[in-house]
């Protein structure tokens, strides 16, 4: 092993000694937090624990090379790293374990995620960006295995964009692209597709990414021989190693996780390569241990041999670090023991402070409610039952919020006929508690800090041309890229040919390959690019070629993109626009109508369904002034239809959350979206010939939905409602009905049963006949509406079928 003087020639012995001992203190502090954290779970104070014990040393080495402006996209065992960069205190660690909802105590998620999920606060309360170059940054962790990988690609690519694209205001975000995106992952998680997709894409793009694999040979109880070919991810990836000419590929480094000097050297080497050469680096950290097993749910003694357990005890990285410190004369055994005792005390005291900060507000609420109920019990005719509730609440020595509020809600059952002012005091107290808990548990799903329903209408002059609708999209994107240098678009076939429908025709040649780019067939990491780029201040538009292909990226959208603003309680934002095309497609794999599933899985993301390209272009213009992620679904069968080309390209805006009445009528309200509206409009003319006057409403925006509650105003007039949808029965149509009937209370104004007309349960068969017999046709619409009117007035509308 190299000596410390060979490793640290540029600093004095005393300085190096101080650094080493400080590192050891962080390592031991982190380990003690893990050990004590497990006990807190087993005693019931915390629900679950997953800790970073056994991974302390490589995380310390990583922290030494991690600089301001860098980004982490990591693994839920990275607590030592967060402590080493000064982003996690003992109190923060335990506050996360207890799910403290005070973001000052628990800055990682305000209790919304379990412990071990780490973030940095990247935006101010008003939604504006902090200066990310003045801090060390961590994108918000998620639990799904390898789910952090797609985002890592985009975080790294942002440095490439900032280095090569001129005109971007990068002051808060980059220093000429010198920042590194650091990823961490467990060895077993490298079996996931997200890992492989990201590794391949990073090699193709040549981005400054350092990916650390913490390898302790197990994935919960499953050994590496069942996880990875050759039981080694670095062996498998040898073909990715750069050649002598440093052509595209990876620098691959393998290092023992218990070797302090080798780890520091490995990470220093990696960061120099990544920063200067924009080359991805894989660091395979082997011979690590997991002293407490995978989590608090089980014991690793059940699946590890005595020989393995003995080896883990000897080669525990903290044990080896301690031995190295003593062997090199940095400290004596006695001094180290005293240090360890002091750390144990500090951790216990920090845990106690964290628990008191968590539990004392609950005790205060408990005290307030007991006083209110005791006052009521003195006057209530049902005092006996109220006293039972009082005694039950008193018995909670360490009450949760739910214990307190549950008691209050139950007490109302015994106060139905109680008229005293004390009841009003109780209700006011409960309302105050509800406001508090709504903020703690249900706020910040959307980034609504700006006006979303602003409308700027397209302007047309006498000279405005009528063009193929794709020209509207293309020329609007042209204006966006001309005026907004921070915007970029990428996807399959988006670059050289200008997307499969020519909506980006010629734009790569005009704005360059960094801003209008082709990608491989890899939807999850296309989404990941968008997430990471948006986290670093850019305005990406990630193109998924068809709506059906969104399914490949749905886990990333659902678990990462849609939850970020919520799970960080508004301290991070990712204003990614996902562009795709769908509706009325033909064939099982190109039916383009999975809206019901998407609506359920993508809350937190706007879902916009423009009926034509002018409306779509207006959505893009609007979204680029907002902070919320969105999915825009263009109508695939609309690109060759004719539309007028607006004069105010790049400026007109389609309002988000607003419906549009595209035909007024008095007999029945028809609600739909996308390409199906053209079928409905055709049917409306035919229904008019039969004396039925329909009102047609274009939803435009499924999420958010009709924020002005305009549909109910239509129902007040027509007293009948039909929702027409190309999704399966119970899909988006059920969502629309719930919004209109329940949220808008439109049921009050109905004279007929509200109904839906949807596609069949199966996916559409191939061909035009498949579409006709699978999804609503003009005849279906006519007959459905006529049938509703027949029930209303059978004499005027006699049956014809």
* Residues identified as active-site: 590
Q: Which of 476, 485, 372 is closest to 430 using CA atoms?
A: 372
Q: Which residue(s) pair with 222 in the sheet?
A: 219
242: number of Cβ within 10 Å:
19
Phi-psi region of 586 (alpha: psi -120 to 50; beta: other; left: phi over 0): beta
Residues in CB range of 697: below 8 A, 6 or more apart? 659, 660, 661, 662, 669, 670, 671, 672, 710, 711, 714
Cα→Cα distances 564→108, 531, 557, Å: 12, 10, 10
In degrees, rounded to 5, the angle at the alpha carbon of residue 622 between the alpha carbons of residues 166 and 619 is: 110
Distance CA 578, CA 558 (A): 13
DSSP collapsed to 3 states, 413-479 = HHCCCCCCHHHHHHHHHHHHHHHHHHHHHHCCCCCCCCCCCCCECCCCCCCCCEEEHHHHHHHHHHH
DSSP 3-state assignment of 332? coil
DSSP per residue, 471-519? HHHHHHHHHHHHH-TTEEEEETT-STT-STTSTTTTHHHHH-TTTEEE-
Separation between Cα atoms, residue 386 and residue 686, nearest integer Å: 66
Measuring CA to CA, which residue among 648, 728, 334 is closest to residue 464? 648
Give the H or E element holding residue 117: none
Give the span between the Cα atoms of 35 and 51, in whole angstroms. 9
| DSSP codes of every residue in 201-219 | HHHHHT--EEEEEE--SEE
Query: 433 CB contacts (<8 Å, ≥6 apart)?
Result: 365, 401, 404, 405, 408
Alpha carbon distance 636, 599 (integer Å): 20
CA distances from 664 to 338, 683, 714, 782 (A): 82, 14, 9, 17
- Report the distance separating Cα 326 and Cα 314, nearest Å: 16
CA distance 159 to 137: 14
Which one-letter DSSP state was computed for residue 702?
Answer: E
CB 579 within 8 A of CB 541: yes
Provide the 3-class DSSP secondary structure of residue 479.
helix
Q: What is the DSSP string of 592-615?
A: ---HHHHHHH-TTSEEE--SSHHH
Q: How far is CA 457 from CA 622, 699, 777, in A?
A: 12, 17, 31
CB-CB contact of 452 with 704 (8 Å): yes
| CA–CA dist 597, 237 (Å, integer) | 36
Q: Can you spell out the DSSP letters for 65-102?
A: H--TT-EEE--TT-HHHHHHTT---HHHHHHHHHT---
Among residues 587, 550, 542, 551, the alpha carbon closest in space to that of 767 is found at: 587
- Listed in sequence order, the DSSP H helices in 99-148 are none
Residue among 624, 634, 579 at smallest CA distance from 483: 624
* Distance from C-alpha of 12 to C-alpha of 15, rounded to nearest angstrom: 5
Q: Is residue 41 a contact partner of residue 115, using CB atoms and an 8 Å limit? A: no
**Angle at the Cα of 492 (from 490 to 493), degrees rounded to 5?**
95
Count of CB atoms situated within 10 Å of the CB of 394: 12
Instruction: Yes or no: say if 231 and 218 are a contact pair by the CB < 8 Å rule.
Output: no
């Amino acid at each position: 092993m190299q000596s410390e003087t060979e490793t640290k020639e540029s600093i004095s012995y005393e300085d190096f000694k101080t650094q080493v001992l400080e590192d050891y203190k962080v390592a031991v502090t982190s380990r003690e937090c893990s050990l004590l954290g497990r006990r807190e779970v087993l005693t019931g104070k915390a629900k679950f624990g997953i800790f970073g014990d056994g991974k302390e040393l490589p995380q310390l080495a990583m922290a030494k090379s991690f600089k301001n402006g860098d980004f982490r996209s990591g693994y839920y065992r990275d607590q030592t790293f967060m402590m080493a960069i000064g982003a996690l205190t003992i109190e923060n660690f335990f506050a996360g374990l207890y799910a403290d909802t005070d973001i000052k105590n628990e800055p990682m998620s305000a209790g919304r995620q379990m412990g071990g999920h780490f973030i940095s606060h990247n935006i101010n309360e008003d939604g504006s960006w902090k200066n990310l170059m003045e801090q060390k940054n961590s994108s918000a962790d998620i639990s799904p295995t390898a789910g952090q990988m797609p985002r890592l690609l985009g975080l790294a690519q942002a440095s490439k964009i900032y280095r090569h694209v001129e005109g971007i205001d990068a002051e808060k975000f980059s220093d000429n692209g010198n920042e590194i995106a650091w990823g961490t992952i467990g060895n077993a998680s490298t079996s996931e597709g997200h890992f492989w997709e990201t590794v391949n894409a990073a090699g193709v793009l040549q981005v400054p990414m350092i990916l650390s694999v913490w390898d302790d040979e197990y994935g919960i109880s499953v050994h590496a021989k069942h996880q990875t070919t050759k039981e080694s991810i670095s062996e498998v990836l040898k073909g990715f190693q750069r050649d002598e000419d440093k052509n595209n590929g990876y620098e691959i480094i393998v290092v023992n996780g218990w070797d302090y000097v080798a780890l520091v050297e490995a990470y220093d080497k990696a960061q120099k390569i990544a920063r200067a050469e924009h080359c991805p680096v894989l660091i395979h950290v082997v011979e690590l241990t997991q002293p407490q097993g995978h989590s608090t749910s089980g014991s690793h003694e059940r699946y590890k041999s005595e020989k393995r357990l003995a080896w883990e005890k000897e080669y525990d990285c903290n044990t080896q670090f301690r031995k190295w410190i003593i062997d090199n004369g940095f400290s004596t055994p006695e001094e180290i023991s005293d240090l360890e005792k002091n750390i144990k005390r500090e951790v216990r005291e920090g845990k106690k402070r964290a628990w008191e900060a968590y539990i004392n507000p609950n005790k205060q609420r408990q005290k307030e409610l007991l006083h209110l109920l005791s006052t009521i019990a003195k006057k209530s005719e049902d005092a006996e039952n109220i006293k039972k509730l009082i005694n039950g609440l008193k018995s909670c020595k360490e009450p949760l919020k739910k214990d307190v509020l549950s008691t209050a809600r139950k007490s109302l059952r015994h106060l139905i006929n109680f008229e005293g002012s004390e009841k009003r005091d109780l209700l006011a107290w409960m309302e105050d508690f509800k406001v508090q808990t709504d903020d703690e548990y249900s706020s910040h799903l959307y980034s609504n800090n700006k006006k979303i329903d602003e409308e700027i209408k397209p302007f047309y002059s006498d000279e405005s041309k009528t063009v193929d609708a794709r020209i509207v999209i293309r020329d609007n994107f042209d204006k966006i890229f001309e005026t907004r240098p921070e915007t970029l678009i990428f996807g399959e076939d988006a670059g050289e040919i200008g997307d499969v429908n020519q909506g980006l025709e010629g734009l790569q040649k005009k704005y360059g390959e960094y801003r209008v780019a082709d990608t491989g067939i890899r939807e999850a990491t296309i989404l990941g690019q968008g997430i990471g780029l948006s986290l670093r201040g850019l305005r990406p538009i990630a193109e998924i070629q068809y709506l059906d292909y969104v399914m490949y990226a749905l886990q990333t959208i659902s678990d990462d993109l849609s939850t970020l603003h919520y799970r960080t309680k508004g301290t991070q934002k990712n204003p990614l626009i996902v562009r795709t095309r769908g509706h009325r497609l033909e064939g099982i794999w190109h039916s383009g109508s999975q809206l019901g599933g998407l609506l359920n899985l993508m809350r937190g993301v706007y879902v916009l369904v423009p009926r034509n390209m002018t409306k779509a272009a207006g959505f893009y213009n609007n979204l680029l002034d907002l902070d919320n992620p969105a999915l825009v679904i263009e109508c695939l069968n609309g690109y060759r239809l004719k539309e007028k080309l607006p004069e105010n390209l790049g400026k007109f805006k389609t309002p988000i959350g607003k419906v549009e009445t595209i035909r007024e009528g008095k007999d029945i309200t028809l609600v739909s979206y996308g390409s199906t509206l053209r079928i409905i409009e055709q049917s409306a003319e035919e229904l008019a010939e039969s004396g039925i006057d329909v009102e047609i409403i274009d939803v435009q925006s499924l999420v958010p939905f009709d924020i002005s509650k305009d549909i109910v105003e239509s129902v007040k007039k027509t007293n009948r409602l039909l929702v027409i949808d190309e999704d399966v029965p119970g899909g988006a149509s059920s969502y629309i009905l719930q919004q209109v009937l329940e949220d808008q209370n439109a049921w009050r104004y109905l004279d007929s049963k509200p109904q839906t007309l949807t596609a069949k349960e199966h996916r559409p068969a191939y061909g035009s006949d498949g579409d006709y017999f699978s999804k609503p046709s003009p005849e279906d619409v006519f007959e459905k509406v006529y049938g509703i009117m027949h029930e209303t007035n059978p004499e005027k509308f006699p049956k014809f079928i």
